A and B are shown apart, each in its own frame.
Chain A
Amino acid sequence: NAGVTQTPKFQVLKTGQSMTLQCAQDMNHEYMSWYRQDPGMGLRLIHYSVGAGITDQGEVPNGYNVSRSTTEDFPLRLLSAAPSQTSVYFCASRAGQGVSPLHFGNGTRLTVT
């Protein structure tokens, strides 16, 4: 089991460029989510999904799009990157029901210049 895999590990973008952060899990988890973490702060929820075909917004969704066409994958898209989106992004998943804990990937460090 690889768990939650995020790619790339590092990325530098120019303002206005677009890109997709990839997230895949091999645990057949129904729930997946994206967080961002800025220096000195805790994690803030961007978007989440409770199953294939279902997504919803978290605390800080502006500037990000998601889709969930399969159970395994939950990509995060930046349509027009801004310096304010410089951050570390974490993807996480858990089994859908009950008290199952959240499993996190190792993050993508994004810099927008």
Chain B
Amino acid sequence: DAKTTQPPSMDCAEGRAANLPCNHSTISGNEYVYWYRQIHSQGPQYIIHGLKNNETNEMASLIITEDRKSSTLILPHATLRDTAVYYCIVRSVNYGGSQGNLIFGKGTKLSVKP
């Protein structure tokens, strides 16, 4: 089973920040938080990942709470092209055996509206 909980859907106005929450209360010390998105039926696209510090790249920012039990993906200025399903996943980087596999949940369907 996926180790994360996300709302099934969210709306965001174009040009506004989209804040997508994720709960991962059972995360362990060697697990990173990863975010991917899937537009239409394309292959999932990597967005960002982090361990405990906040991270930012050209696509998004990732805010992880101090206790690491939840995180928020921020798309600072959402556009219509950001409409997609967003997946929050935790993964161990000590990937002996199956620990390194990505286990997808159902994600959050983000709809960006004009």
Q: Is the CB of A42 within 8 A of B105?
A: yes
Residues of chain A lying within 8 A (CB to CB) of residue B41:
88, 107, 109
Q: Is the CB of A103 within 8 A of B100?
A: no
Q: Is the CB of A42 within 8 A of B46?
A: no
| A40 and B45 alpha carbons, distance in the complex (Å) | 18
| A42 and B87 alpha carbons, distance in the complex (Å) | 9
Beyond A45-B103, A101-B49, whether A56 also contacts B98 by CB under 8 A is yes
* Secondary structure call for the A interface: strand
| A9 and B45 alpha carbons, distance in the complex (Å) | 18
Q: Is the CB of B49 within 8 A of A99?
A: yes
A53 is an interface residue with CB less than 8 A from chain B: no
Q: Which residues of A contact B (CB under 8 A)?
A: 4, 31, 33, 35, 40-45, 48, 50, 56, 58-59, 88, 90, 92, 98-99, 101-107, 109
